[in-house]
Amino acid sequence: MLELRDVHSYYGHIHALKGISLSVEKGEIVTLIGANGAGKTTTLRTISGLLHPRHGSIWLDGERLDGLPPDIIVRKGVGQSPEGRQIFPRLTVMENLEMGAYTRNDKEGIRRDLEHVFGLFPRLAERRNQPGGTLSGGEQQMLAIGRALMCRPRVLLLDEPSMGLAPLLVETIFNIIRELNREGTTILLVEQNAAKALAVAHRGYVIETGHIVLSDNAANLRQNDLVRKAYLGET
């Protein structure tokens, strides 16, 4: 469904992605793990059109995305819950979710998707009229994911969904990721908690300094010596 072919991205003169190639099949959870600064968020920003690659190509269901502006990429079916949540703090929960559907005009479909989000995240339903900035960190993460779902994505990009959350909330977020996938959502997951990411993913890629250095199914990655020592904290 989603494919990156030899993608090179830059921040000014800094060569951040150095020939990234990866794929996500329909119905999969694929995780991208790596250290801070390895290029994980840059990969998602490049897919979303916030960065344009200088070389290589990005494809969604056989349609080329690279070079398109971000709003068109959303319309094509790529939704993202960004690192740091980046909700609109002065807008209410409901208004934040409605912003996620700004590319749509099917009112009945939007209403159904709002109810779906509230079913996944009952806390958001309880707080629908509160400003987003008054929510807890976990609730803001739920809101960021819910907002991304409101564009009805074919591929959902999740960037560090567990960052800064208490362990119980981390478990809640990963249960939601499993549930979304069971419902048919295809997910590309960037996550520093490699153990949690590999527990929910079907396949994974390891990125170091802008290069993919390893790819395999999640079970094999969990047993890989490099992954165990560098990302799972094992000796």
In a domain, 208, yes or no: yes
In a domain, 27, yes or no: yes
In a domain, 125, yes or no: no
In a domain, 29, yes or no: yes
**Closest alpha carbon to 21 in 45, 44, 2, 5:** 5
In a domain, 141, yes or no: no
Number of domains in the chain: 1
In a domain, 102, yes or no: no
Side-chain-facing half-sphere of 57: CA atoms under 13 Å? 6
Residue-number span of the structural domain to which 21 is assigned: 2-88+154-230
Quote the pTM value: 0.94
In a domain, 142, yes or no: no
- pLDDT tens digits, residue range 199-233? 999 999 999 999 999 999 999 999 999 999 999 98
Q: What's 84's domain CATH number? A: 3.40.50.300
In a domain, 226, yes or no: yes
- pLDDT tens digits, residue range 67-107? 999 999 999 999 999 988 899 999 999 999 999 999 899 99
119: amino acid identity, one letter: G
